[in-house]
């Protein structure tokens, strides 16, 4: 760009001049998501903004380019470079004095091509060694990830447990995705060749789907991807023990409640939890809660009163000697 077209890259990304590399990355990602062409189809203003923030990120995320930009300001591309007048070849009297380098000239002539394609792709330029001409250095395999895309997909717990096929759209394209059984929250599903088109190689990047699972009314995950659930029992079941039915992903199973169980105690159902890759399943943890009835019949009340009068157990015995 010519010197008169100076852009404040810090202002474009909304960061201060003292911003760290991580601050710049965060700001760029936030703005890129907001102005991405897939999010704003047909919006030329958003497209221009997207290219502008790509250009700002390209300079500020490169330590050497940022150092020159901070040192020389609007003339940062001219800092430390030889004047263009020494370039060999006849250019028909074209005046290069307004440009700090041939990179700058190409950016001007091609409308800021190096500012970035959707997905953050960049074009860099090089002058072949020993040659008076100039050439393009196109992104190679190292830059292929710049044409990848990310999206999220929300599944019911049943679909995540059993696996499913889901249809949805990304950027106007209809896709059918096979969900493997046992995906977990935060799992990523890779769709090869479904991302953005690389204009140089004519190959598409990949799409990475991040899995989110809807909350279930009974089952939850713990840190080890076991399934956790809570089951209530009556006071008499806690005292006497009982056999109760507990739901699992495969249907109800019979569980023995030991006599004298404490409220909040957890029982483990081995192999009844979440599917694991290439192996069996995690466990299902059953948290037992003793739940007193809010209403009782007259006969039940009389029996509870009789139990109270006959009870020898004092659950607060250990508190009698507590003091400061």
Name which of 210, 208, 253, 221 is nearest 157 in CA terms. Answer: 221
Distance CA 56, CA 12 (A): 7
Domain boundaries along the sequence of the chain: 3-137, 145-213, 220-318
At the top level of CATH, the class of 145-213 is: mainly beta
Q: What is the DSSP letter of 124?
A: E
pLDDT at 75: 59
Q: What is the DSSP letter of 73?
A: G
Decide: 30 and 53 in contact? Cβ < 8 Å.
no
Distance CA 67, CA 144 (A): 27
Name which of 110, 98, 30, 22 is nearest 60 in CA terms. Answer: 22
**pLDDT tens-digit profile of 82-100?**
444 333 333 333 444 444 4
Q: Say whether domain 3-137 belongs to CATH 1.10.287.110.
A: yes
pLDDT confidence tier of residue 273, bands split at 50, 70 and 90 = very high
pTM listed for this prediction? 0.52
**pLDDT tens-digit profile of 115-144?**
333 333 333 333 333 333 333 333 344 455
Number of other residues whose CB lies within 10 A of the CB of residue 204: 18
Continuous segment of H or E residues that includes residue 154 = strand 149-155
Fold held by 220-318 = HSP40/DNAj peptide-binding domain (2.60.260)
**Per-residue b/e over 138-175, b at no fewer than 16 CB within 10 Å?**
ebeeebbebbbbebebebebebbbeebeeeeeebeeee
Work out the widest C-alpha separation in the chain, in whole angstroms. Answer: 112
């Amino acid at each position: 760009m010519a010197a008169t077209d100076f852009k404040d890259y810090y202002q474009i990304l909304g960061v201060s001049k003292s911003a760290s590399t991580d601050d710049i990355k965060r700001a760029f990602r936030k703005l890129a998501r907001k102005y991405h062409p897939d999010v704003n189809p047909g919006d030329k203003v958003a497209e221009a903004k997207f290219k502008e923030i790509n250009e700002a990120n390209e300079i500020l995320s490169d330590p050497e380019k940022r150092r020159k930009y901070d040192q020389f300001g609007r003339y940062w591309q001219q800092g430390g470079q030889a004047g263009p007048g020494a370039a060999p070849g006849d250019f028909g009297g074209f005046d290069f004095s307004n440009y700090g380098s041939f990179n700058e000239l190409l950016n001007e002539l091609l409308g800021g091509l190096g500012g970035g394609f959707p997905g953050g792709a960049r074009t860099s330029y090089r002058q072949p060694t020993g040659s008076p001409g100039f050439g393009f250095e196109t992104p190679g395999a190292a830059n292929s990830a710049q044409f990848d895309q990310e999206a999220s997909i929300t599944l019911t717990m049943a679909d995540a447990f059993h696996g499913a096929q889901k249809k949805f759209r990304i950027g106007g394209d209809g896709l059918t995705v096979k969900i493997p059984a046992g995906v977990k929250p935060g799992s990523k599903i890779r769709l090869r060749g479904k991302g953005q088109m690389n204009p140089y190689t004519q190959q598409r990047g990949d799409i990475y789907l991040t899995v989110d699972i809807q909350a279930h009314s009974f089952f939850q995950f713990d840190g080890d991807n076991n399934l956790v659930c809570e089951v209530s029992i009556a006071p008499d079941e806690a005292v006497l023990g009982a056999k109760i039915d507990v739901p699992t992903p495969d249907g109800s199973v019979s569980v023995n409640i030991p006599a004298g169980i404490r409220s909040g105690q957890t029982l483990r159902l081995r192999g009844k939890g979440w599917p694991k890759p290439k192996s069996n399943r995690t466990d299902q943890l059953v948290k037992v809660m003793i739940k007193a009835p809010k209403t009782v019949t007259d006969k039940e009340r009389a029996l509870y009163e009789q139990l109270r009068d006959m009870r020898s157990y004092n659950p607060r015995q250990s508190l009698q000697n507590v003091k400061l």
